[in-house]
């Protein structure tokens, strides 16, 4: 079996049994289903953590995670195996639909002046999705008198939330940003010797970032949401977990509210109380 050096010791190769233990632990904690084909990914991602902790086996690390009552190491484990790839204005038709939904919502008598529109970016990763939402909404507030909104962005990964909250994006993430939006909302900076773009802090502070594990019982919200984005997240879950999660999203939506999912996802094979609007967009009756 292969191994790698570790300060005088060696990391024993990840066995199928150890992979099964880690896979089950991750599933129980956050519903992510690693399946049978992620063994190489887990070996590579966790190998770095084992070297940091000067451990010699994945079983030792598994026992370490289970014994950590603070939950801190479990968070590190989830952070390590989470795959995060995204860019601003990804699947742009969702943001065009959001514009239309906001205009419809705000046109109802006294609605815009009376209460804020509530939007949730669920599984916000490194912040590109909520950043795109806040640009869309800020632009609409310049056109619709009295429009108010609240934007919540959550993720299970504290590492991703820290990146998201910073509001700084690599150059390649801005390829789809309209030129006028780029000029209005972004400032070019240098970060680690590379060109990066800082989002306008005054607008960005509209976003509230928080950690949330979808598997932690019922969602802790006092108010319902008018729009929920949960895109390219459910692909990591099995059918039973997807069904449970969509039921919780439906409960968290206000009547008439919309759920948007990723284009690699579908609700076709699961039971849910939502009405189909168009591909990847559903409405609560």
**78-110 tens-digit pLDDT:** 878 776 667 899 899 999 999 999 999 888 776
Report how far residue 244's alpha carbon sits from residue 226's, in angstroms, rounded to the nearest whole number. 20
**Residues 27-73 pLDDT 10s:** 888 778 887 878 888 898 899 899 999 999 999 999 999 998 877 78
Between these two residues, 1 and 120, which has the higher pLDDT value?
A: 120
pLDDT, residue 85, reads 63
Residues 253, 284 contacting (CB under 8 angstroms): yes
> 1: pLDDT confidence band, cut at 50, 70 and 90?
very low
pLDDT in tens, 237-263: 888 889 999 999 999 999 999 999 988
pLDDT score of 19 more than 50 = yes
pLDDT digits over 110-146, tens only?
654 568 999 999 999 899 999 999 999 999 999 998 8
Above 90 in pLDDT, residue 226?
yes
Domain architecture of the chain: domains with CATH: 3-81 (1.10.155.10), 93-283 (3.40.50.150)
Question: Please, what is the end-to-end C-alpha distance for the chain in angstroms?
Answer: 56
Distinct helix (H) and strand (E) counts, the chain:
11, 12
Paired sense of beta strands 225-230 and 207-211, if any: unpaired
Q: What whole-number distance in Å separates Cα of residue 227 and Cα of residue 245?
A: 15
Measured between alpha carbons, how far is 164 from 228 in angstroms, rounded to an integer? 18
């Amino acid at each position: 079996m292969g191994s790698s050096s570790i300060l005088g010791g060696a990391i024993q190769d990840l066995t199928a049994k150890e992979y099964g233990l880690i896979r089950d632990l991750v599933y129980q904690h956050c519903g992510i289903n690693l399946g049978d084909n992620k063994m190489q990914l887990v070996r590579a991602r966790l190998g770095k953590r084992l070297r940091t902790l000067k451990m010699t086996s994945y079983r030792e690390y598994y026992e370490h995670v289970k014994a950590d009552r603070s939950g801190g190491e479990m968070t590190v484990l989830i952070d390590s195996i989470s795959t995060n790839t995204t860019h601003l204005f990804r699947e742009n038709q969702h943001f065009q639909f959001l514009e239309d939904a906001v205009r419809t919502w705000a046109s109802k008598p006294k609605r815009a002046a009376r209460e804020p529109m509530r939007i949730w970016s669920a599984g916000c990763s490194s912040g590109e999705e909520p950043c795109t939402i806040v640009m869309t909404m800020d632009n609409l507030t310049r056109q619709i008198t009295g429009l108010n909104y609240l934007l919540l962005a959550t993720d299970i990964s504290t590492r991703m939330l820290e990146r998201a909250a910073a509001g700084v994006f690599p150059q390649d993430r801005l390829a789809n940003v309209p030129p006028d939006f780029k000029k209005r909302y972004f400032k070019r900076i240098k970060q680690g010797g590379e060109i990066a773009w800082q989002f306008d802090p005054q607008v960005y502070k509209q976003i509230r970032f928080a950690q949330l594990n979808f598997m932690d019982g019922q969602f802790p919200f006092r108010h319902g949401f008018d729009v929920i984005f949960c895109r390219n997240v459910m692909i990591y879950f099995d059918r039973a977990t997807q069904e449970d999660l969509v039921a919780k999203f439906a409960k968290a939506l206000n009547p008439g509210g919309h759920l948007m999912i990723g284009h690699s996802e579908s609700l076709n094979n699961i039971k849910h109380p939502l009405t189909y609007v168009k591909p990847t967009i559903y409405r609560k009756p």
